Amino acid sequence: MQVLVVGGAGYIGSHAVKMLREQGHTPIVVDNLTRGHRKAVPSDIPFYQISACEIERLCEILKKHSIECVMHFAALAYVGESVEKPLMYYENNVSATIRLLQAMETVGVQKFVFSSTCATYGEPSTIPITEACPQKPINPYGRSKLMVEQILADYAASHPTFAYAALRYFNVAGASRDGTLGEDHRPETHLIPSILLTLLGRRDKFVVFGTDYPTPDGTCIRDYIHVEDLCAAHILVMEKLCPGQPRIYNLGIGRGYSVKEVIDAVERVTGKRVPVEHGPRRAGDPAILYADATRIRKELNWKPQITTIEEMVETAWRWHSAHPEGYVS
């Protein structure tokens, strides 16, 4: 299948491009490189440095490459930043997606896989979180993703040949197992790379925000899914898309690891002691979040291949230790 990967130079998008090619599909990449990295995309893959807002250019690309499906990863995804700059988030995450859909409509592309998030659930009252859990996001980032989900449902209702999926990620972690791709955010806010960058001397210390949560060790618990398992789910869902049957799935491993458990795993994998400082809780951080991913397991027989935090850390450590400055190095 000819697949346009929007945001294909980012962390998840670049891994999806790699896996699409490995599974016999033909990826074409669009990325404005605001937060992606050109080096994350092989030079022989068609690459266009444009914004998802550029309807005319998108139409040209969709036509030129006879695109059959669009995978959309091009979102801003920092919760704190979304609170400080909500208009930027609604412009990039919502308005740009509308323009992308308009380009698809103009050309006649009928399949769409959307990168959504568990942030659409807000602070759920029940754990584990199923797809039926009420969506009550508590920040502009989560609201922007929920808006797109609602737009897709409305668009599909008025276009009977349109088929789409909305995949609600939990915490994505790790790097490609062959060491060729990894995580390089500026700034880096994700837990595992933040710890590893501390060990590599790029940070003085690692701060644990809150040690008095109602959890076994007092630190927050989250569901971590390996980036390659996440991308495998995208491709599986893409291949099953059918008009009138929206695919709405949680993507997680169905269990959580605490911050302390992740730190302990890093120390076991690397053989290094993590310099830790304890800080106060951050506003809006629930004690426990993890997914119930039963729906995609039952409907599509998807099963994550990496389920231990040690395995996820091992792949991330392989990448970061070889690329301490990210794609710059």
pLDDT bucket at 203, cuts 50 / 70 / 90: confident
Distance CA 83, CA 21 (A): 37
Of 194, 201, 176, 212, whose CA–CA distance to 263 is shortest? 194
Distance CA 169, CA 23 (A): 22
Q: What percent of the chain has pLDDT over 70?
A: 100
DSSP for 31-97 reads: ---SSS-GGGS-TTS-EE---TT-HHHHHHHHHHTT--EEEE------HHHHHH-HHHHIIIIIIHH
Stretch (H or E) spanning 315: helix 309-322
Q: Which amino acid would we find at residue 149?
A: E
Q: What angle do CA 242, 98, 32 make, to 5 degrees?
A: 105
pLDDT bucket at 125, cuts 50 / 70 / 90: confident
Q: Is 141 part of the annotated catalytic residue set? A: yes
Identify whether the C-beta of residue 305 lies closer than 8 Å to the C-beta of residue 143.
Answer: no
Distance CA 152, CA 105 (A): 12
Choose the catalytic residue: 141, 164, 249, 290.
141
pLDDT bucket at 190, cuts 50 / 70 / 90: very high
CATH 3.30.70.260 at 2-173+224-251, yes or no: no
| CA distance between the termini of the chain | 33
pLDDT digits (tens, 9 = 90+) for 14-48: 999 999 999 999 999 999 999 999 999 999 999 99
Q: Would the pTM of this model clear 0.85, i.e. be above it?
A: yes
The DSSP symbol for 288 reads: E
**Residues composing the chain:** 329
Identify whether the C-beta of residue 80 lies closer than 8 Å to the C-beta of residue 37.
Answer: no
pLDDT at 329 (0 to 100): 67
What is the domain partition of the chain in residue ranges?
Answer: 2-173+224-251, 191-222+254-328
Domain range 191-222+254-328, its CATH number among 3.10.20.30, 2.60.40.10, 3.40.50.1820, 3.90.25.10: 3.90.25.10
Neighbouring C-beta atoms of residue 44, cutoff 10 Å = 7
In the beta sheet, which residues pair with residue 3? 27, 69
